[in-house]
Structure 1
Amino acid sequence: MSEVSLARRNFLKTGAAAAAALMASAAANAGIPAATVKKYDEEFDVVVVGSGFAGMACALKASRAGLKVLMIEKMSVVGGNSAICGGNVACPVNPVQKAQNIQDSKELFIKDCLKDGLGINYTNLLGVIADRCNDTIKFVEECGAEFVPNKMLFEAGHSVPRSYEIKAGSGSGYINPMFATMKKEGKVTVRTRCKFDDFIMDGDDVVGIVCREGYRFNAKLQSDDLENKTGKTKYIRAKMGVMLAAGGFSRDIWFRQVQDPRVVPSTDSTNQPGATAGVLIKALGIGATPVQLCWLQFLPYCNPREKGFGVSVNFTNHACMDFGIVVDRKTGKRFMDEHAGRKIKADALFAVIGNDENYPIAVADDAIVKAINPSFVKLPLEMGTVKKFNTLEELADFYKIPKEAFLEQVKKFNGYVKAGEDPEFHRNLKFSNGLDVSKAPFYGIEVSPKIHHTMGGVMINEKAQVISTKTHQPIKGLYAGGEITGGVHGASRLGTVAVIDALTFGMVAGEEFAKMAKA
């Protein structure tokens, strides 16, 4: 059995012993005492570490309150994973839902999140998202983000359509206009290739950071940085505080395997190379409370023939799993609810893939393709990950699927759509809009999960303040939002909730700094 196959078969279970060892290690590094800093190179009101959704939202909100803000990014370009993610965003009880008579509620949103999160979500944080999501949408629209008008996506695991579709087809639809707004307003200092190295501490309070300007990221060295000494060290004072928006650690080979030894170095991830654990480890070292670090989420929409996120995720998600079907190529039959949450689907996919890389086949038809965003189809076809066929028989022959069983399965599924009920896997067909798999040409693609989101991180409260393990109270001067935090999503998050999570808590942190300015 290969390392990768072993990881695929066994990733479903998790353990917590590694977290205790990690905390003991992190405690050995408790920041730089302020008393030892002879001179600060610069002084800002707020320092934001990271330039994705949470970082940009915080920086904009704080700077608009008249604060002097520095945003640093260790990579050569801004945006991180936020720039390359799918970009669609959940927002319960929004105006488009109301106009279309879609019945939603804060309680239903939280219930849906708890189902996929296995009940270990922090509902107080989900409540903040539900209460503030419409403010968040307004905020990004004012920056220039554009959504497909009058459209609500019915994302997997959600009970009702509640997700806006970003016109750009990726998270760049927020990052680019937010960054452009930031540059136009000219109130935020942005530095790329600037790596966070440590906190400067006055007792238990965060009063600044140590960073390196001119840093050159080396993916082979990961986040430990034991050998990469590039860049010039700077000491930056943060008069009001530091906001952590450094994302998750899906590309951190050592750290993710510490959390779950079954995830081996060769296990692929959808994340950009800079998604490492360096900032998180330093936060734990100064007493930030760790939450659910050993839960790693796999994205069930990936193609095994392309590296990383690739170009196929949106097609597989919104064409094949929202409206089409997924079949076991050995049997020609469905084996899961294609509209279930990510963990449920990833579990089911890994069970089918097994040790022999039996990648399931996701299928959609022409009517489905025409109903979704055209950009979701164009690139996968050009890259060859999605294949186009004149008949279902041709599709079955190409992927070596048992033809009769496959055709019978498609017929049964089409009947379920017509009846509005799926007796096999109880898929919610209420919002299928009559789309089935019946109109040529047909499209097929291989599917295999990849590490996508690290569920755990530092604990925050409703004000985005990081909570101390020592006092159980906020660490003065330390805030966080997005994937570097834990608890919002529990064991597994619903699609499109990460975007609203990061944007909202970034916005909340910025508002907290703004309140300080007025005090």
Structure 2
Amino acid sequence: MTDAKHGTQRRALLRNGLFGMAAAAAGGAAMAAPGAAVKKDAGAEEYDIVIVGTGCAGLSAAIEAADIGAKVIVLEKMPVPMGNTIYAGGNFNAAGTWVQARDGIKDDVESFYKDMVKVSMNRCDMDLMRMFCDESAGVIRWLTDRCGIQWKPLDYQIAPMLGRCHEVTGKVQPGGSQLTIQMLAEVKKLGVPVHYGEKVIELTHDEALRCTGVSTLDSKGVRRTYRARGGVVLCTGGFHNNKDMLTRYMGGSVAWMPLRGSVCCTGENVTLTAPFFPNYVNMDQFHAGPIHAKTRANPSNMVNFGICVTPEGERYIDEGQTYVFIAQNTPRRIPENRAFIILDSRVRKEPIVDLRFKRYEKAKAPIYKADTIEALAREAGLPPEKLARTVKEFNEACRKGTQTKLAVAVPSTMEKPRTIEEGPFYAFEFSGGMTATFGGPKINRKAEVLNLEGRPVPGLYAARNAIGGLFYDNYLDGSQLTAAVIWGRVAAHEALARAKAGTAA
């Protein structure tokens, strides 16, 4: 499935507003045309740091590298930035921030750390997670002061997200596109070259498996070599649009989930790093989210504002869980991977819900509406009597405070559950969609890729969705972008230090 229609406006803004790129492609890598002769290597260029990818991690690394005096280049296989960042809501998960203080939200890093470990089932890398939580507030400050990012008023969401989801605001929606535009503007001001349409096809190395740079191929069939004195920073994303890898690591049912993330994340974090024998971890774990499969309208957190039902009109999941949990488990519990969110009119005014209404309207995804539950069911193609009975049972349990005992399989753990009583009523169809993978080469605090012996691969660094080990099972909204900034910036410092020390081969 393609995201060309879904992303046209965002790519146009990136293309025309900053770089005057040629028409954006619908998807796929910028490779030589079939049958085209590969031209002679155009020669090697040398830099302190070579960054692969123009997402949040790559742009953070580029800005930081240039700020500290590194000679740096960014390589992107697509004609414009088309990774997950431009599709993201622009949310950053963080605690102890100046934005929380501004909005009167009390929080602390230790509570944040405990919650992050808990949602990862105690299977995250504890050292990396500690660093993530400790550095999260600094991410918000750096983005504000260095990149000019502004923040929406914080929403207080279900536990354990609470008031930690910092959302980028600006003229462009979603926030991830606004973030990309502003970060690219800073990269341009710094004079950092960004080469589009150059696919990295190899991480070069010497006899001792020290990473020495990259080899690329562009759409005209020209091969180039870029040497990196300090190292290569891999910010390619994961493998969520590589069905072969998804099937191997997660199974065919996951591979056939509708795509929610970018089409261009196809597993270079695995294929490029394989010659270095890295320690791949959490390869069966992934980030999911609700999505309207036909139009790609994204309801995300709206699943927490009503009840979620099967096509048979029965609740099947705890709406007090994160949208990631709900999306991961929808295809597991409903073989056809098709469900409905049922809301009443009182939550329509909530900013989080209102934004999701607008997403469905903009995508021309169906929004079913009626003055009674039975009429709503008929509009959405659900069994009226069954849906009415489900809603009645849920409302009665909520009023009695027994919603956690509705059924063993589908309790509602929402602290303050929202009954569905005031019309008009609404129904939104959705499926569990694939957003991003959690697996990849393990890194340490210095963003160095670790091999199977637990030793750093000299000259090879990685950040955010290209890595594995930080997240497992569940996920709190905005965590990936926070991690991208942390280890993108760290990698820049480490690679430049290595270049200055003359340790590159």
TM-score normalised by the chain length of structure 2: 0.81
Shift of 1:481: 0.5
Q: Distance in 2 between matches of 1:273 and 1:329?
A: 29
What residue in structure 1 maps to residue 187 of structure 2?
Answer: 182
Give the match for residue 475 of structure 2.
493
Task: Give the deviation of 1:41 after TM superposition.
Answer: 1.8
Residue of structure 2 in register with 1:365 after alignment: 344
Tell me which amino acid in the other structure corresponds to 2:184.
F
CA distance in 1, matches of 2:424, 2:437: 38
Mapping for residues 133-144 of structure 1, pairs under 5 Å:
133-142=136-145, 143-144=147-148
Amino acid in the other structure paired with 2:182:
P
| 1:248-286 superposed Cα distances (whole Å, 9 cap, x missing partner) | 111112222222342476543212221111342221212
For residues 99 and 151 of structure 2, what CA distance do their matches in structure 1 show? 11
Higher alpha-carbon deviation: 400-409 or 74-83:
400-409
CA contact (8 A) 1:93 1:106 kept: yes
**Structure 1 residues 103 and 147, CA gap change in structure 2 (3 angstroms):** closer
What residue number does 1:20 align with?
Answer: none
Q: Does 1:447 align with 2:452?
A: no
Which residue of the partner structure matches residue 235 of structure 2?
Answer: 245
Contact 2:257-2:432 within 8 A present in 1 as well: no
**Contact 2:328 2:432 (8 Å CA) reproduced:** no
Alignment match, 1:234: 224
What is the identity, as a one-letter code, of the residue corresponding to 1:498?
Answer: Q
1:458 and 1:485 in contact (8 A); partners too = yes
1:516 Cα offset (Å)? 5.3
Structure 1 residues 60-69 or 379-388, which shifts more? 379-388
Q: Which of 369, 378, 383 is the aligned partner of 1:389?
A: 369
Most deviating of 395-404 and 456-465:
395-404
Equivalent residue for 2:270?
280
**Equivalent residue letter for 2:194:** V
Measure, in 2, the Cα distance between the counterparts of 1:240 and 1:486.
23
User: Judging changes above 3 Å, is the alpha-carbon distance between structure 1 residues 166 and 426 closer, same or farther for their aligned structure 2 residues?
Assistant: farther
5 Å-filtered alignment, 1:308-387, equals 310=296, 312-313=297-298, 316-319=299-302, 321-330=303-312, 332-341=313-322, 344-346=325-327, 348-354=329-335, 357=336, 359-373=338-352, 374-387=354-367
In structure 2, the CA distance between the partners of 1:518 and 1:431, relative to structure 1 (3 Å rule), is: farther
Contact 2:56 2:485 in 1 (8 A): yes
1:191 is matched with which residue? 195
Alignment match, 2:291: 302
How far is the alpha carbon of 1:87 from its aligned partner?
Answer: 2.3
Q: Which moved more, 1:86-95 or 1:99-108?
A: 99-108
| Residue of structure 2 equivalent to 1:90 | 93
What's the CA shift for 1:351?
Answer: 4.4
Identity score, percent: 26
- In structure 2, relative to structure 1, the CA distance for the partners of 1:518 and 1:101 (3 Å cut) is farther
Contact 1:102 1:160 in 2 (8 A): no
Distance 1:264 1:352 in 2: 13
- For residues 209-228 of structure 1, the aligned pairs below 5 Å read 209-212=214-217, 214-215=218-219
- Superposed displacement of residue 368, structure 1: 2.0
Aligned 8 A contact 2:78 2:198 in 1: yes
The SS at the match of 1:447 is: strand
Deviation at 1:134, TM superposition (A): 1.2
Distance in 2 between the 1:199 and 1:469 partners?
18
How far apart, in 2, do the equivalents of 1:398 and 1:329 lie? 12
- In 2, distance between residues paired with 1:398 and 1:115? 40
The equivalent residue for 1:35 is none
Out of 122, 128, 131, which is 1:128 matched to?
131
Q: Distance in 1 between matches of 2:429 and 2:387?
A: 15
Gaps of 5+ in 1: 1-37, 216-229
Q: Distance in 2 between matches of 1:347 and 1:193?
A: 33
In 2, the alpha carbon distance for the partners of 1:328 and 1:261 equals: 23
> Which residues of 2 match residues 407-422 of structure 1 at below 5 A?
407-414=388-395, 422=403
| Structure 2 residue 74 is matched with structure 1 residue 71 | yes
Q: Hey, what does 1:16 align to over in structure 2?
A: none
Following superposition, the deviation at residue 54 of structure 1 comes to 0.6
Query: How many Å apart are 1:77 and its aligned residue?
Result: 0.7
Cα distance in 1, alignment partners of residues 276 and 390 from structure 2? 56
Q: Residue type of the partner of 1:112?
A: D
Is 1:154–1:431's contact at 8 Å kept on the other side of the alignment?
no
Separation in 1, partners of 2:469, 2:343: 35
Partner SS state of residue 231, structure 2: strand
Residue 478, structure 1, aligned to residue 457, structure 2: no
Alpha-carbon distance between aligned partners in 2 of 1:60 and 1:97, rounded to the nearest angstrom: 25
| One-letter identity of the residue aligned with 1:206 | C
Asked if the contact 2:300–2:323 (Cα under 8 Å) also holds between the matched residues in 1, the reply is no
Q: Alignment partner of 1:452: what SS?
A: strand
> What is the aligned partner in structure 2 of residue 146 from structure 1?
150
Q: From 143, 165, 168, give the equivalent of 1:166.
A: 168
Q: Structure 2 CA distance, aligned partners of 1:322 and 1:123?
A: 29
CA distance in 1 between counterparts of 2:151 and 2:412 reads 27
What's the CA shift for 1:170?
A: 3.7
1:271 is aligned to 2:253:
no
Confirm or deny: 8 A CA contact 1:145 1:174 kept in the other structure.
Answer: yes
Which amino acid is 2:494 matched to?
A: E
- The one-letter amino acid of 2:185's match is A
Displacement of 1:152 in angstroms is 3.1
1:29 is aligned to: none
Correspondence 1:502 to 2:484: yes
Q: Give the direction of change, closer, same or farther, for the CA distance of 1:431–1:511 in structure 2 (3 Å limit).
A: farther
Q: Partners in 1 of 2:329 and 2:204 — Cα distance?
A: 46
Match of 1:403 among 370, 384, 393: 384
Pairwise CA distance, 1:514 = 5.2
TM-score relative to the length of structure 1: 0.79
Q: Does 1:80 align with 2:83?
A: yes
Taking a change above 3 Å as real, the CA distance of residues 96 and 512 of structure 1, as seen in their structure-2 partners, is same
Mapped to 2, the partners of 1:284 and 1:234 lie a distance apart of 21
1:452 Cα deviation (Å)?
A: 2.0
Q: Secondary structure at the match of 1:177?
A: helix
For each residue in 1:379-401, what CA deviation from the matched residue of structure 2 results, as whole angstroms up to 9, or x when unmatched? Answer: 41243424141313321112233
SS of the equivalent of 2:46 reads strand
CA distance in 2: counterparts of 1:468 and 1:250, whole angstroms: 23
Aligned residues: 450
| Structure 1 residue identity aligned to 2:340 | I
